[in-house]
Amino acid sequence: MSEYIEFNPTPEQLAYTFGPNPPVAKVRPGDVLKIRTEDCFGGVVRGFGDLPSQVCRFPYLNPVTGPFFVEGAEPGDTLALHFVSITPARDWAVSSTFPHFGALTSTSHTATLQPPLEERVWVYDIDLAAGVARYSARNSDFTVDLPLDPMHGTVGVAPGAFEARMTITPDAHGGNMDTPELRAGVTAYFGVNVEGALFAVGDGHARQGQGEVSGVAVEAAMETVLVVDLIKGVGTPWPRLESDTHLMATGSARPLEDAFRISQHDLVTWVSELTGLDLLDSLQLVSQAGEAPVGNVCDTNYTMVAKVAKAYLGRAGAYDGVHHRLKALGAAYR
């Protein structure tokens, strides 16, 4: 009894935290959801003169669409979100530097006495048909077409312990993980912390390099279709991702090696459970077969992904095959 639900938030409906916010809609496991998300600047950075520090007003940054209340979701369950499609909603996208934000500048926390880098905006042409985002330098006539690879930087559920967290922060509840691995075709898993899970989605990127070095990706409003499901009575310690070919665990923390440790620890534990390997045998396999794609090295927590090909794991299937079920369910909406 899958329903198809569309939701396009008004500006007033956008949320700026993951937490116990009033839900914008209720959904049920199996429902297909088509949502619109605004870009991280709330859509107000549109040209070279729109410096984010001037046209955006803290904390009204990185809005998310949601939260959605999932009927039946309780603490201890796992929420599965299968991303059927993530499509840039406009024919342009933007990027920028932002004062004292990013990996190659001192920041509010890696605090130095140096002034910030120049604040600068770049505008990208998005050509869906050609599948490219066009980079144009600001101080020369250099241009290059980069392949579109749309993703959501921010996806998560309400955190536990009565917390509400800025959408810009990634942590065990998800949030602003900013990993290019969260693209269409992937199922994301989150441990449920509060009744209804209260998930939300935002911060679309037409594409993003690993690490999001400048602090800002190719920011784009998105039209996104996803399928919702619930795995009852099964917990998930940190957000996980599954594609047709790979299993992925995430970790978000500082310093970066802790994000790496969390993600690898979860992957080693998960592979052990799926394959019956003991922890050291699983560690050995992941050590030789695994990948470690960097998410972001600029947000309030950094995000690392630990990734291994399913082909190396025998017949093991994660979460009882929900990824393939949701993919099939979503196929009609692609």
Task: List the interface residues with a copy of itself, window 1-40 (CB under 8 A).
Answer: 16-17, 19
Alpha-carbon distances, residue 70 vs 28, 48, 203 (angstroms): 5, 41, 21
Contact call for residue 129 and a copy of itself (CB under 8 A): no
Nearest-angstrom CA–CA distance, 124 and 146: 10
- Is the CB of 301 or the CB of 329 nearer to a copy of itself? 301
Range list of H helices, 217-292: 256-275, 279-289
Instruction: From 147, 149, 217, 124, select the one nearest 178 (Cα to Cα).
Output: 217
Q: State which of residues 45, 84, 200, 217 lies at the interface with a copy of itself (CB under 8 A).
A: 217
Stretch that binds a copy of itself, among 28-36, 70-78, 114-122, 240-248 (CB under 8 A): 114-122
Contact call for residue 320 and a copy of itself (CB under 8 A): no
In the complex, the smallest distance separating the C-beta of residue 86 from a copy of itself, rounded to whole angstroms, is 16
Beta 174-175 vs 4-7: how paired, if at all?
Answer: unpaired
From residue 150 to residue 189, the character string flagging contacts with a copy of itself as x (rule: CB under 8 A) and all else as - is: ----------xxxxxxx-----------------------
Tokens 């990993």 locate to 179
DSSP helix/strand/coil, 229: strand
User: CB under 8 Å to 73, separation ≥6 — which residues?
Assistant: 79, 192, 195, 196, 197, 230
DSSP helix/strand/coil, 318: helix
**Contact by Cβ (8 Å): 11, 57:** no
- Is the CB of 1 or the CB of 12 nearer to a copy of itself? 12
Beta 121-127 vs 246-253: how paired, if at all?
Answer: unpaired
Contact call for residue 312 and a copy of itself (CB under 8 A): yes
Radius of gyration of the chain from its Cα atoms, rounded to whole angstroms: 19
In the complex, the smallest distance separating the C-beta of residue 65 from a copy of itself, rounded to whole angstroms, is 17
User: CB under 8 Å to 153, separation ≥6 — which residues?
Assistant: 40, 176, 177, 178, 179, 182, 202, 203, 204, 205, 208, 217, 296
Stretch that binds a copy of itself, among 6-14, 225-233, 240-248, 253-261 (CB under 8 A): 253-261
- Is the CB of 72 or the CB of 147 nearer to a copy of itself? 147
In the complex, the smallest distance separating the C-beta of residue 332 from a copy of itself, rounded to whole angstroms, is 33
Tokens 């003991």 locate to 278
Nearest-angstrom CA–CA distance, 244 and 58: 39
Contact call for residue 278 and a copy of itself (CB under 8 A): yes
Stretch that binds a copy of itself, among 35-43, 67-75, 222-230, 259-267 (CB under 8 A): 259-267
Q: State which of residues 22, 47, 139, 315 lies at the interface with a copy of itself (CB under 8 A).
A: 139
Q: State which of residues 4, 314, 324, 334 lies at the interface with a copy of itself (CB under 8 A).
A: 314
- Is the CB of 1 or the CB of 109 nearer to a copy of itself? 109
Contact call for residue 319 and a copy of itself (CB under 8 A): no
Stretch that binds a copy of itself, among 29-37, 39-47, 67-75, 107-115 (CB under 8 A): 107-115
Sites for a copy of itself among residues 71-100 (CB under 8 A): 95, 97
Nearest-angstrom CA–CA distance, 107 and 91: 32
Contact call for residue 118 and a copy of itself (CB under 8 A): yes
The H or E element containing residue 7 is strand 4-7
- Tell me the longest C-alpha to C-alpha distance in the chain: 59
Contact call for residue 110 and a copy of itself (CB under 8 A): yes
